[in-house]
Amino acid sequence: MMKDIYLIRHGETDYNRQGRVQGQGIDSSINALGQQQAQAFYETYLDVPFELVVTSGLRRTHQTVEPFRKLSIPFYETRDINEISWGRFEGMAYGDEVSSAYQQMIHEWGIGNYDFAIEGGESASALASRIDRFLNWLTRRPEETILICSHGRTLRCMLTLIHQRPLHEMEAYHHHNTGLYRFTWQNGVYQTLLENDISHLEPILKT
């Protein structure tokens, strides 16, 4: 069986716009632009025969794919694809303190210390463990065409696992709110069809 997997980041939140740290401890909502992004994605892909929609346990992913509920597609929520925990920095504006902690984390992960976590936060190895569990679950599902909505750092980690790259290469992946990655999966092999595609946002970006 071949699976067709659509993987998107949630729509914009005020935390995104204000440059504030979110993480799994901040259950923010998408803002007006995020709602426009979600609607644009829905209008572009509503004819795709999705058999399952998967979200994290956080509100911003639910709201991003909410329009698909009107199509009576089964929804499934899992905390395994929640955003990483940023510990005591969650809710803080990006500044010198946050930047210093972040750079230390990137350095530690870059030298292979994947068990390192910023104060009160989650390590790369812990994040990868739950995402690997999710991917194993996903490939055992009977559905063939699946839409998944998750978070920025979670997607970075998931993409390294899909591409079988070391975790420190997470920094190579950058994605827009509602940016789309599309993969096929068959016999344990992923093939990339789209990377951070935002063609559905063209009408919004022009305004």
* Stretch 1-14: mean pLDDT: 97
pLDDT higher than 80, residue 62: yes
Token couple for 79: 């905390």
Mean pLDDT of 57-65: 98
Mean pLDDT, the chain, integer:
96
Q: Per residue in 72-91, pLDDT tens? A: 999 999 999 999 999 999 99
pLDDT at 122: 98
Q: Which two tokens stand for residue 31?
A: 């803002």
Sheet with strand 189-197: strands edge to edge: 75-77, 52-55, 145-150, 3-9, 180-186, 189-197
How close are the terminal C-alpha atoms of the chain, in Å?
42
Superfamily for domain range 3-205: Phosphoglycerate mutase-like (3.40.50.1240)
Q: Which helix (H) or strand (E) holds 190?
A: strand 189-197
Please give the share of the chain, as a percent, with pLDDT higher than 70. 100
**For 66-201, where are the alpha helices, taking DSSP H only?**
96-110, 124-140, 152-162
pLDDT of amino acid 170: 96
d(CA 72, CA 117): 40
This prediction's pTM: 0.95
Share of the chain above pLDDT 90, in %: 93
Chain segment 97-128, per-residue pLDDT in tens = 999 999 999 999 999 999 999 999 999 999 99
pLDDT band at 207 (very low <50, low <70, confident <90, very high): low
For residues 166 and 189, the answer to whether their CB atoms sit within 8 Å is no
For residue 174, the model assigns a pLDDT of 92
- Give the model confidence (pLDDT) of 138-188 as tens digits: 999 999 999 999 999 999 999 999 999 999 999 999 999 999 999 999 999
Can you give the pLDDT at residue 96? 83
